A and B are shown apart, each in its own frame.
Chain A
Amino acid sequence: MSNGGGVPASSLVTIARLVRADIIKLSRYWVVAVGYVAMLIIAIPGAVLFHMGEQFINVTSESGYAFAFGLMVRCLDFSSSILFMMMCLLFSIDVANGAVKYILTRPVTRLELLVSKYATATLMIALTLALLWVSCLGMGWYYYGLGALTENDYVIFEAGTLFRHIGIATVFLALSLGASASMAIAVSSYSSTMGGAIIVGLVLRGFVSALTVMPAALGFELSWGQETYHFAWSSLAFTSQLFVPMYVLDDLPTGIPIESWWSWDITRMVIVSLVYGVFFFALAARKVARRDFAL
């Protein structure tokens, strides 16, 4: 009995199925598994070295949170690179293996395929941040404990307050990593090989990161209500914007409350991330719509 086709599934259902397919294949691809294990392996010995270093110079974080935040900044540096390389595989793994032909001869539009890659990237980002926070906070707890932040038995911040701010910072971190994901997916959509996607992606990412060398004084003034803000060209190095939420969070363990997350630094980070995210999405959408993936 032949299949007549029937009513095609909605876009949401199709995207969910594509994401499931991505998860099945990526979770069984050793490169991705090694990437995530590397994040964990580097974070934990890193914490030990970090702690040993503190003891060597007689400086102590004094709080598990300060230790965890310091460690997180260092872990984000290399983990974001590993994550970027893994996200460069999202399209290229299908194209390089020729599997994209099968996907595109199923009831799947090219836009649904592209959106599914963004959804998979979001899950990869969430997993990365979860692994890093678990490692960093776990090691902070191991060395100094995690509870209410106190000074001379006076409670400065309850643990709940600290974790709420960690949650907010995580959302901003995810947004910044999302811009990286958009760049990785765009590069991936142009590439026919996995190695090519990673190399071109790293070159492009390095090129964008190099903008940080521009003096901060170079830029333009942006008026927002009554205020005028300086927008440095170096801010366009969106990879460095990743650390902005951590710098905001870094004040908390010293007892300085975060009055508002919506500071100019965060606003600028959000703008830069969104601009890059949308720009690379448009590039990828244009390519995916036109590309002959069977070649």
Chain B
Amino acid sequence: MSEPAAIEAQQLSKRFRALVAVEQIDLRVDEGHVFGFLGPNGAGKTTTMRMLLGLIAPTQGSVRIFGHDISTDFKRAIAPVGALIEGAAFYPFLTARRNLRLFSGISGRRSRAREDEVLELVGLASRADERVGGYSQGMRQRLGLALALFERPRLLVLDEPTNGLDPQGSREIRQVIRRIRDEDGTTVIVSSHLLAEMEDVCDRVAIIARGRMLRVGALDEVIGGKDERIELATSPGDSERAVALLHERFGIDAERPRRDHLDFDRGAIDPAELTRALVEAGVGIRALTPRRRTLEQTFIELTGSSGAVQ
């Protein structure tokens, strides 16, 4: 018998009266993976996260965490989970340390040493004894992550964890995610609309829009690894000749995103052969870079380029 998935959702749907927020989502995340949940604002990411954690009941479908059904065996299902849902919020009149102690006490896992450890990990050790009321949104987000990590969860669910963080803070959070995956084997589900950072940490991703799962799989599968592109930087004035050559010899219509730069689908072209052809035609090459299609390109293709809330 195979190991149960870290989390598995089947036919998960949520309706708020006439509004279909999430429709028949199937999801499976195996243990030890970092799973990215991507979607534009209002796509249904947070609603799905809430259903995964039992914060709201699905209209239809089921969720199992390490084999335990969240609706019928809630305590066992949720015990190995750490979560940061939609913006960290704490009691503002308590210090960060006191907040940590209060929440960890609910599971009976209070530990001064662990408090120090997680506060250090998220970079709040020096401000731990200040009241949370004086914290910035970024600091609260860090504290939320500290709390989510406190009990060394087997499954970590992070909803937009880098919201309110500066670039350095976002980078640190990504480092933490990688570290707990590599060192503790923690499974992480992370939602975000910041695609670059998802590309940086996730093994698998799902793209959701208008409550529907559009694509799910390993990062390369979702992006479409075969559709690599090539970026060519020519010597000044050579780009016209390069465009003509590409069209005549390889049947490629290259885009010119900026002066002396071409961007085109690699297709079946061998970069070595292309280089030779360009040199023979007297095109000066400053750089020829095979480039994978970005998650952002895939995302925009799938969800539409509009940034409007759905």
Q: How many residues of B contact A (CB 8 A)?
A: 43
| Contact (Cβ within 8 A) A103 B75 | no
Nearest chain B CB to A13 CB, angstrom units: 7
Known A6-B79, A25-B94, A107-B75; contact A17-B105, beta-carbon cutoff 8 A? yes
Q: Which residues of B contact A4 (CB under 8 A)?
A: 80, 154
| Contact (Cβ within 8 A) A107 B87 | no
Interface string of B43-62 (1 = CB under 8 A from A): 00010001001111100000
A106 contacts chain B at the CB level, 8 A cutoff:
yes
- Residues of chain B in range 262-303 having any CB-CB distance to chain A below 8 Å: none
> Considering the chains assembled together, what is the distance between the CA atoms of A292 and B151 in angstroms?
25
| Contact (Cβ within 8 A) B55 A293 | yes
Q: Tell me the interface secondary structure of chain B in the complex.
A: loop
Q: Which residues of A contact B56 (CB under 8 A)?
A: 292, 294
Q: Which of B102, B109, B186 contacts A25 (CB 8 A)?
A: B102
Nearest chain A CB to B68 CB, angstrom units: 9
> CB-nearest residue of chain B relative to A108?
B106
- Residues of chain A in range 21-42 having any CB-CB distance to chain B below 8 Å: 21, 24-25, 28-30
Nearest chain A CB to B93 CB, angstrom units: 6
Q: How many residues of A contact B (CB 8 A)?
A: 36
| Contact (Cβ within 8 A) A3 B89 | no
Nearest chain B CB to A17 CB, angstrom units: 5
| Contact (Cβ within 8 A) A5 B106 | no
Q: Which residues of A contact B184 (CB under 8 A)?
A: 1-2
A9 contacts chain B at the CB level, 8 A cutoff:
yes
Known A98-B87, A98-B89; contact A13-B54, beta-carbon cutoff 8 A? no
> Considering the chains assembled together, what is the distance between the CA atoms of A1 and B56 in angstroms?
30
Known A5-B79, A17-B108, A106-B103; contact A101-B154, beta-carbon cutoff 8 A? no
B83 contacts chain A at the CB level, 8 A cutoff:
yes
B247 contacts chain A at the CB level, 8 A cutoff:
no
B220 contacts chain A at the CB level, 8 A cutoff:
no
| Contact (Cβ within 8 A) B152 A3 | yes
> Considering the chains assembled together, what is the distance between the CA atoms of A6 and B57 in angstroms?
24
| Contact (Cβ within 8 A) B147 A102 | yes
> CB-nearest residue of chain A relative to B109?
A3
> CB-nearest residue of chain B relative to A93?
B91
- Residues of chain A in range 90-107 having any CB-CB distance to chain B below 8 Å: 93, 97-99, 101-107
> Considering the chains assembled together, what is the distance between the CA atoms of A5 and B82 in angstroms?
11
A246 contacts chain B at the CB level, 8 A cutoff:
no
| Contact (Cβ within 8 A) A21 B108 | no
| Contact (Cβ within 8 A) A101 B89 | yes
| Contact (Cβ within 8 A) A292 B55 | yes
Q: Which residues of A contact B94 (CB under 8 A)?
A: 24-25, 28
| Contact (Cβ within 8 A) A106 B107 | yes
| Contact (Cβ within 8 A) A106 B78 | yes
> Considering the chains assembled together, what is the distance between the CA atoms of A9 and B91 in angstroms?
25
Nearest chain B CB to A152 CB, angstrom units: 57
A8 contacts chain B at the CB level, 8 A cutoff:
yes
> Considering the chains assembled together, what is the distance between the CA atoms of A98 and B276 in angstroms?
62
| Contact (Cβ within 8 A) B78 A2 | no
| Contact (Cβ within 8 A) A105 B78 | yes
| Contact (Cβ within 8 A) A1 B75 | no
A18 contacts chain B at the CB level, 8 A cutoff:
yes
> Considering the chains assembled together, what is the distance between the CA atoms of A24 and B86 in angstroms?
25
B92 contacts chain A at the CB level, 8 A cutoff:
yes
| Contact (Cβ within 8 A) B102 A105 | no
Q: Which residues of B contact A8 (CB under 8 A)?
A: 75-76, 79
Q: Which of B54, B89, B98, B147 contacts A97 (CB 8 A)?
A: B89
A109 contacts chain B at the CB level, 8 A cutoff:
yes
Known A109-B74, A292-B56; contact A9-B108, beta-carbon cutoff 8 A? yes
> Considering the chains assembled together, what is the distance between the CA atoms of A8 and B105 in angstroms?
14
B90 contacts chain A at the CB level, 8 A cutoff:
yes
Nearest chain A CB to B272 CB, angstrom units: 47
> Considering the chains assembled together, what is the distance between the CA atoms of A189 and B85 in angstroms?
20
> CB-nearest residue of chain A relative to B86?
A294
> Considering the chains assembled together, what is the distance between the CA atoms of A30 and B103 in angstroms?
20
B217 contacts chain A at the CB level, 8 A cutoff:
no
Q: Which residues of B contact A105 (CB under 8 A)?
A: 53-55, 78, 81, 83, 85
A286 contacts chain B at the CB level, 8 A cutoff:
no
A20 contacts chain B at the CB level, 8 A cutoff:
yes
Q: Which residues of B contact A293 (CB under 8 A)?
A: 55
Q: Which residues of A contact B185 (CB under 8 A)?
A: 2
- Residues of chain B in range 127-169 having any CB-CB distance to chain A below 8 Å: 147, 151-154
| Contact (Cβ within 8 A) B98 A5 | no
Q: Which residues of A contact B80 (CB under 8 A)?
A: 2-5
Q: Which residues of B contact A17 (CB under 8 A)?
A: 105-108
B66 contacts chain A at the CB level, 8 A cutoff:
yes
| Contact (Cβ within 8 A) B55 A99 | no
> Considering the chains assembled together, what is the distance between the CA atoms of A9 and B185 in angstroms?
25
- Residues of chain B in range 77-126 having any CB-CB distance to chain A below 8 Å: 78-81, 83, 85-94, 98, 101-103, 105-109
> Considering the chains assembled together, what is the distance between the CA atoms of A162 and B198 in angstroms?
72
| Contact (Cβ within 8 A) A107 B92 | no
| Contact (Cβ within 8 A) B50 A294 | yes
> Considering the chains assembled together, what is the distance between the CA atoms of A93 and B185 in angstroms?
36
14 pairs from A and B in contact (CB 8 Å cutoff): A1-B152, A2-B185, A3-B80, A3-B109, A3-B151, A3-B154, A13-B108, A14-B106, A24-B98, A24-B102, A29-B93, A98-B87, A105-B78, A108-B106
Extra contacts besides A24-B102, A104-B54 (5): CB < 8 Å: A8-B75, A97-B90, A101-B55, A101-B83, A292-B55
Which 4 A/B pairs are nearest by Cβ-Cβ distance?
A98-B89, A5-B79, A5-B80, A8-B75
